[in-house]
A and B are shown apart, each in its own frame.
Chain A
Amino acid sequence: MDGSADRYDRRAFLARGASGAAALGLAGVGVPALLAGCSSTPSSTGRTQTHGVSTGTPKRGGTVTMGLNSEIDGFLPTASHWDNSGLTYANTIFDTLTVVAADGSAKPYLAQSVTPNTDMTQWTITLRPGVKFHDGSPLNADVLLANIQALQTSALTGQALRGVVSSASKVSDLAVAVSCVEPIVAFPYYLSTQVGYVIAMAQLESQSSTQPIGTGPFSLVSWVPNDHMTVQRNPHYWRAGLPYLDGVTYKPISQDQSRENSLRSRTIDLMVTRDPGAIRDLANAAGYQQVRNPSVGQGDMDFIVLNTSVEPTNDPLVREALARAIDVGELVRLFGAGIAKPNLSLFPPGSPYRPADNGYPTYDLTKAKQLVAQAAPNHGGTISVALATITDPRLVNEIQAIASMWGLAGIQTTVSQVEQVTFIDNLVTGKFQAYTSEQFGAADPDLNYVWMSPTTANGPIALNFSRNKDDALETALQAGRTTSDPTARAQAYQEVDKHLSRDMPYLWASLATWSVTGSDSVVNFNNMTLPDGSRALGFANGVFNPTPMWREA
């Protein structure tokens, strides 16, 4: 049953946080499509309006209620497992050192500047002066240093930082120097993720996950898990004039249909969803504005992750047979609600990192049958695969369809649902053959290093869930990580995509579709600006920031 739906999104676990970036939604082979950033509709004046953006004069006051798809487990960046809802909560209470701008670059936010040395092995973070936490304490280098050290020693975030940060030291009252283990070109992007949120010294010392103290636009009023989280305006917010609202209430509503009903009944003002049916229904409904995943960066991908360290998925022939037996087009037609589009690559169409042809095996049932016949003798005469997903009715239907496709190729498939916590545990401990997954949403491809590097594929606990150990892949990942030349980076990540297509640890399906839909009374909810006046990326992969919005009525 659901309800479960979503502990950690209940789909996203250590996810975006642990990696410091990459999103690990454990949803599934779904739908999606990296859709154009914002929808546009003609207004009554005939002028085209961009959804979620207002050119009107901001109105102060009022409150907004927003429905999210999951509940979080706390407000401590070093210990809490933040999925898209967790990061939305975090954007409300805290600030990140950098924010991804609409052009895809990482720009200083709580930091005034983030500057590298010549070889990018050391980055100096200089904080904005005069910023205070909700408890009135100042943001300074001591606090930042303590935050970084806590992140390094945390069992959760330490794994992600191990390959990035070696040490940190105070440079001045407002500056901290971070030494990296190697040149980390994408370092500023890391500071826009879970490891980039700065909490007050008092919270660091108390290690409280229920009493957050941040510098963010709102401060906590009450949090009742599974019911609501209410915040009030921070009157001393460092960004003068912001936020406009007096308060925001978030309600975790695990069922997509219940969330949609709540929006339509005006029980809530805004909702986040990744359900293509709900996205389609609300897209053309009058009185609503809808914003979908932006076309900048890399969206979450829906795919099946194969364990390359266990029988029979350790056999490349079996993996290719599985890939060739899936008719992704049909799958998307069945479950995509007209919203989704197939995507057989790590990167979306239009990405500079996507090669013209990555060589990923396309649907070919005859070839799949041949591969099964070829591989079967090495696996006791038959190919049997256990395919599982979380307890989500939509995903269960999808894996049943996939099992049926595999069956046509002669692959025996057992289908099962696994509750979320066990699902995650099985992924990290390697106790699976084929699991649905939703992952890899990132503003910079290096943020996904931890999930696919052979260096994290060893041992009983591995963040490279597929346990794919390809030295050539590591070489390409390293090239992308340490090279600042855009052309060289593009070539490196194109190589990454090609290696993944050859190794097939992931059976690609489609790009995950996320959307935020609001009633017309709530405006400007996707028009976050940065201190330098440029526009922020805004809503992406289910993560929302309430700072720029206001209520019209």
Chain B
Amino acid sequence: MADLLYFDNNATTKLAPEARAALEPFLGELVGNPSSAHNAGGRILHAVEKAREQVALMLGCETGEIIFNSGGTEGLNTAIENALDALPTRKQIIISKVEHSAVSNVVRPLARKGYRITEINVDRFGRLDLAQLNHEVGHETALIATLWANNETGVVAPVAEIGDMAKRAGAMFVVDAVQCPGKLKLDMKAQAAIDYLAVSGHKFHALPGCGALFVRKGTPYRPLIRGGNQERGRRAGTENVPGIVSMGAAARCINEHLDADIKRQTELRDMLQSGLLAKLDNVIVNGDEQSRLCNTLNVGFEFVEAEAVLLMLDAAGVAASSGSACESGSLETSHVLRAMGVPFTAIHGSVRFSLSRYTTAAEVGALVDSTVKIVRRLREISPFGREKPAPKKPGDLEAHKAYFATT
């Protein structure tokens, strides 16, 4: 079999060669606890602080605003708990209907503790209903927590506007930016309304098991993981030095090449999208094409089922993933696509392709060929889809409504 065509970078990414080279010494020769007084410990401490500089540069913040931790989930748990502690009298939490479970599964159970949970709707293109948000947010709101970029569709939220609303109401603002590094510019100085922001190493070519939480200077903070004095008393537990070093090196790559990487990934993603749309009918692009991560394409192939597409892609050496959780055994359709009101036909056949800086044009070409062949083959054996062509233009809401009203 040829090399694996990896189009599942929103799930996890391969380790950057630069990150591998940077962490290599820490797997053998360099031993020492950063907290120890001896020279070896000091050298390691130095490496951790160099990494912190790169990560701070990537986020556009100060080094003192970075807390290294185990990843996005820990960061979001910590941030949400801290935000609520900061405003103990306020009893409303606002999230969206399309959050990652690292936010929704933390927030929803708080209803039992007396919090009112408000989930903001999204439209057919995955865009947050800002009018509803504006209506809901108020002096009772303790916290707005939202994804900066959606993991399933890549839709980018207007964090500046959301942040303004949070600040006007005096609420805390927590942002899940796990999908963002290397795909869009993060600048915490410009985004002054963000109080907490979480990222995860393995999503941007560092090791899994490491992440960073940005906490704006002056924001109340109490550690979630308590114990030793690591991370200036903000996150106990001996540092994951190889992870942190790999994250520093990966952040450095982003700091040096971000604009070029975005341009390149956008071109390849667009090539993938136009290739599929040109060769296949009845393909629906899920998500707002005007505001979307440069590396993500979520498409619904009508009249076929996503798991079947993915398994055939897998047999052809392509790794992608489904917008839905079907592959994990649950029958539940994607909560994101459901919230967007994507028609059932397209939800069942929705597949997410996510690129990375390492994706090549040749890989995209091979992916288009494989996918077209597979979808055609599955449609050949499908009892549907030959009689009536669906509207071809992606995102044509009225045409879709008319079409599905008669199906």
Partners in one complex: no
Q: Spell out A's residues near B (CB within 8 Å).
A: none
